[in-house]
Amino acid sequence: MLKDIGYRIEYGLVRVAEWLLRLLPLDVAANIVGTVVAWSAPWTSMHARALGNLVAAFPDWTRDRRNQIAREMWRNTGRVIAETMMLDRIAADPSRLEFSGFDRLGQHFRESGAQIGVTLHMGNWEVPGIALGLFGARLAGVYRPLRNPYLDRYLLAKRSPYYPGGMLFKGTKQDTIPAGTAAIAAIRMLREGGHLGVVCDQVDDTCSFTVPFFDHHAKFTPAPALFARQVGARMWVARCLRSGKGSRFRIDVAELPVDRTSDRAADLVKTTAAMAAQFERWIRETPDQWMWWQRRSIAS
C-alpha cells in the first residue's frame, strides 16, 4: 500500500514536470533539466559509480578531468530525461537528425531479411529508434520494465510509436513476457524478416564469457550475436551523438560482421568482442556523452 502510494506520487511529479516542460521550446526545456541534473546528481550514489568506472577506464586521467567528464555526462543525462518526455517533437522535426552510414542500411531495410541493430547509452539512445523508422525499419525493441508500474506504462507509451514491431520485455514481471519467452519471440520475429533493436552496453551476469573492454575483462549480452548467427540476420552497430548544446543529433551506423563457423561458442565470443570494441572506440571519442553511471562496473 505505502509502496503504491510512493509510486503514484513519483508518477504524478513526472507528469507535472512534463506539463511544465512542454510549455517551453524543446532546446530550452532540455537545457534546464540538464543544468538541474548536472548540479544535483553528484550528490547521489550513481555519481560514485560513474567516477569509479572513469578511474577504471582512464587511470592516467587527473581527478579534475574525470570530474569534468562526469559533470558533462550528468548534463547530457538531464537533457535525455527532458527529451524522452518530448520524443514526439524530435520525431516531428527530422531536421534535428543527421545521418551517417544509413544509405546501405536503408537499402537493406527495404529488402526482405532480418536485421539486428545494437547501440549503447550514448547521446540520446532513444533517438536511433526514431531515425531507423525514417529509413523504413519495422523495429521491435527490447525493454527492461521499471519498478514503478505507472512510470513503466508512461515510458512504454512514449517509446511504442517508434517500435511498430512491438516491445519485448527482459526480466520477469506481472503482465510482461519472461526473459526466455522474449528470446523465443525475438527469434521468431527475426525468422519472419523482422528488425530488432537492442541497447547492449550494460553488464550481463548470465554471460558465460568475458571480452576486452578498456583493458579489463567485461561481460556483455551475447544475445544479438546468438540471434544473428542462428537466423542469418545482418547485424548493425549504431551510436547517437549530440551535436552542440541543443537537441540535435548525429546517428552513425556501421555493419558488424557476424561469425558463422562450426564453433558456435567461439563465434559468439568473437562477434560480441567486436561489438564491445566498437563501443569502446566510440566512448573514447566522446566520453562525456556515454552514461558512465548505468554500467555497474567496467570490469566483470
pLDDT, tens digit, for every residue of 238-269? Answer: 999 999 888 999 999 999 999 999 999 999 99
Total count of domains within the chain: 1
pLDDT in tens, 133-164: 877 778 888 888 889 999 999 999 999 999 98
- Helix ranges (H only) for the chain are 2-21, 26-40, 45-57, 63-85, 87-91, 102-110, 127-134, 149-159, 179-191, 223-231, 264-285
Residue 276 belongs to a domain: yes
Q: How far is CA 92 from the centre of its chain?
A: 21
Alpha carbon distance 101, 274 (integer Å): 18
Residue 12 belongs to a domain: yes
Q: Determine the average pLDDT of the residues in 113-141.
A: 89
Residues in the chain: 300
Beta bridge partner(s), residue 96: none
Residue 255 belongs to a domain: yes
Alpha carbon distance 80, 76 (integer Å): 6
Helices then strands, each counted (H, E), the chain: 11, 9
Alpha carbon distance 275, 289 (integer Å): 18
Alpha carbon distance 183, 170 (integer Å): 9
What lies within 8 Å, CB to CB, of 159 at 6+ separation is 87, 126, 129, 141, 143, 167
Q: What is the mean pLDDT of the chain?
A: 90
pLDDT in tens, 175-202: 444 455 778 888 888 998 889 999 999 8
What lies within 8 Å, CB to CB, of 259 at 6+ separation is 225, 229, 266, 267, 270, 271
What lies within 8 Å, CB to CB, of 46 at 6+ separation is 293
| Confidence at residue 106, expressed as pLDDT on a 0 to 100 scale | 64
Residue 283 belongs to a domain: yes
Residue 295 belongs to a domain: no
All three cell numbers of 124, joined, read 540520446
CA distances from 56 to 150, 201, 286, 299 (A): 36, 16, 17, 8
Domain of 175, in residue numbers: 2-289
Tally Cβ neighbours within 10 Å of residue 16.
Answer: 10
Would residue 113 be called left, alpha or beta, if left means φ above 0 and alpha means ψ between -120 and 50 degrees?
left
Residue 297 belongs to a domain: no
| Confidence at residue 104, expressed as pLDDT on a 0 to 100 scale | 65
Residue 294 belongs to a domain: no
| Confidence at residue 143, expressed as pLDDT on a 0 to 100 scale | 82
Alpha carbon distance 52, 67 (integer Å): 11
| Confidence at residue 228, expressed as pLDDT on a 0 to 100 scale | 95
Residue 299 belongs to a domain: no
Q: What is the CA radius of gyration of the chain?
A: 19
Alpha carbon distance 76, 34 (integer Å): 6
Please report which confidence band the pLDDT of residue 4 belongs to, taking 50, 70 and 90 as the band edges: very high
| Confidence at residue 27, expressed as pLDDT on a 0 to 100 scale | 97
Please report which confidence band the pLDDT of residue 173 belongs to, taking 50, 70 and 90 as the band edges: very low
Q: Tell which residue, 251, 252, 293, 236, has the closest CA to residue 90.
A: 251
